[in-house]
Structure 1
Amino acid sequence: MEQGNAHEGARPAYALGAFPRTPADGRMAECRVPEQARGERAGAEWAGAGQAGGRPAEGEQAARGEHTHGEPLAPRAVQRHSVRGQILDALRAALVDGELVPGQVYSAPALGSRFGVSATPVREAMQRLAVEGAVEVVPNRGFRVSERGPRELAELAEVRALIEVPVMLSLARTVPAHRWSGLRPLAEATVTAAAVGDRAAYAESDRAFHRAVLALSGNKQLVSVADELHQRSQWPLVSGPATRRADLLADASEHTALLDALVAQDLAVVQALVREHFAGADG
């Protein structure tokens, strides 16, 4: 597997502030994987393409079956040890942000050139996302981003509520107050991400908070299943508007309110908050 030179424990690619945007057009500034992590460059043929930055014209991309839809996907920084892991994290963040457009097809070589890596780690990451249901394989073309409609998201929220509400009510009766206080920084991290409107950072911190709460049950299988459902529910609506910062802040505030109710062992408030949280777009 191709290796990067980032030190162990570096922030994941989707971490808050990891992707600086150029002031001119608001798109993310280009960032490359360290040279020794690049391996075989699938984008080598781009060097003599005669376009600015060495990129070929859209017609040339289309001839090779590469993605040519609108503006090119903004490159994302990759910083973790495993190149495939870096790309997977960056692609998941792009799904949450809506940069990977539902219904559109993207090729591994075209995405790889924008990350500064070969097509191989991109293809492997996309295969993983296909297993998770985020994309589907389009033979000889690439991967189509799955479309998530309101009904499917509502069904996911309903299943999550069936799993998490009774578990949280049980935990509210048994977990001492000091254990809940230890989760306060995780709740505050969601507020920090929401305050700057960073959907990718909010999505990760939101999942981290829910994982930590459910982990107090001691049931690893429950945590795994709930986290998978949570991740699927974070993908954007088909043709839907991006979540507003005010909506993210409202969802984030429910985390701190939930902790207060858990500390107080107020079961009625816990149940109401969790159900309301799942009814939101990003809970």
Structure 2
Amino acid sequence: MAYFLLLPLVQMPAEESAARVEPAAFTPAPVQPAVIGLSAFDALLADFEDEREASLVALRGYLLTEGEGFHREWLQATVRMQEAAEALVRQSSSWTDGRKLVQLVEMQRLVARLLAEQRAIASIAGTVNRYPGLQLYTEDVQPALEEAQMLCTEVMDRMLATSSPDFVGPVGPFAEFRGDLEDLRAALSSYMGAAVSAGPPAAAGPAHLDAMGKMLAEARPQVPAELQAKIDRLRVLLDMTEEKLSRIFALRDSERWDYASYAFRTRVEPLAAKLGSIEEEWRASAGERS
């Protein structure tokens, strides 16, 4: 009986019991502004790194293939890289780290130079300007040899018109010169279209060109006076061709033969590496106050 009499003493009111078991409302802790700033900076930096690398990959692909798809992708990547750099500049208004602010200014300079170099390289891809040696050949050597060939034909026709079976005179040596000139043109045409590893043709070697010059020197006194000026012009064309060929062969043996790829390695990649150094230092300071 005593047990039942004590029950009211330990029993609580229904509303008070419900209040005790109801879980307390959860209030999230306020996020510190510094954490938000650092997180935004990390995201912006990652965007910039991605777009910088994307521009390099696309330009490298364009140089390898000269495909319009890579060119379009490169253009888009450069726009996004500029936008990512500008976003970092806007975010820097809250920075308090002096070194990082100075590095940001340097980053802006590097980005401007990187874009300028990339545009210069992209502009010569697919043109004769990409290969300076090929440009020398098409703009200087080929026209000179064509003019020399026409002069040879004209001089030979004039000499044959005044020749006789009893006196061959300079016709023989000059005919040999004309044949060597034709061999030179054919050999150079084949060489310019061959792989870069191919060596210069023997017909374009110094010894062979010197021999051709001696033929002209020997033939000149024997030709009619009115043709000697044409022989002199042939000698000028031959000397000019030899000088241009020496430059072409030197370029062919150097990294500058494909100037677009050479400029990419020596001008674009070093700028990208400098930007990468700044980015690496910024990543290392992640979590610190900017």
Structure-2-length-normalised TM-score: 0.27
Larger Rg: 2
The structure with the greater share of residues assigned to helix is 2
Name which structure has the greater RCO, CA cutoff 8 Å, separation 6+.
2
